[in-house]
Amino acid sequence: MTNQISTQIVDLRSNPVRELNQALHSLSGGGSSKHWRVLHPLGAHAVAAGLDADVTVEIDGDVGYYCAGMNQRAIVIVNGSAGPGVGENMMSGRIYVRGDASSAAGATARGGTLVIDGNASARCGISMKGIDIVVKGSIGPMSAFMAQEGTLTVFGDAGEALGDSIYEAKLFVRGKVKSLGADCIEKPMEDQHFRELFEKLKEAGVAHEIDVTDFRRYGSARNLYHFHVDNAGAY
């Protein structure tokens, strides 16, 4: 590891991911370096996972599974694409993926913001519990499955079974939706929803890129909250 000005640089060709993550975890108790740059990740798994510090980690290249999983407070920037589970179970902070994301992006996440410049694969936002996800491309099938809270905003299209078994999360899609999942319906976009969407996009730093009036809103029909035999075929 070398230090250039105020940036700590780690090359994963010579430093293992475990060593990088241990150094980043130590920042939770306070540390001098607020900006870290990770070189040559080469698809490594769990890069910058489990952070709990006010630090920016910039990763130059593609990453594998669970990048920035369980993130708290940190800003993680992936200058490439991310494998399955990017931002899984994150609590707060921000994650930016400059390329595409594989399946289960933002899965079970309880807070923070995840921005994906490209496309996201299947199950984007599965069981999300408070995170705000913005995908500038399109998303795959079964996205927002059992989504409980938070928002999923998609500039492009959505695959099959969007929002299947959704609870109180809000879905905003500009493009086409191939099909809606069980208990997910289109809902009217009222002034309050346009304002909310604009604020979410502003927080994500992309409000200037899109017109909120182009979006449609989807959410729960609230028929599957409690089991009823008449709805058994929908579960």
Residues 72-101 pLDDT 10s: 999 999 999 999 999 999 999 999 999 999
Question: Domain-by-domain residue ranges, the chain?
Answer: 2-234
| Radius of gyration for the chain, computed over Cα atoms and rounded to the nearest angstrom | 18
pLDDT digits (tens, 9 = 90+) for 110-155: 999 999 999 999 999 999 999 999 999 999 999 999 999 999 999 9
Measured from the Cβ of residue 92, the count of other Cβ atoms closer than 10 Å reads 16
Residue 2 has pLDDT above 80, yes or no: no
pLDDT digits (tens, 9 = 90+) for 154-164: 999 999 999 99
Predicted local confidence at residue 4, as pLDDT: 46
To the nearest 10°, report the CA torsion of 156, 157, 162, 167. 20
Task: Name the strand (E) or helix (H) holding 192.
Answer: helix 191-203
Q: Which CATH superfamily is domain 2-234 in?
A: Glutamate synthase, alpha subunit, C-terminal domain (2.160.20.60)
Predicted local confidence at residue 33, as pLDDT: 66
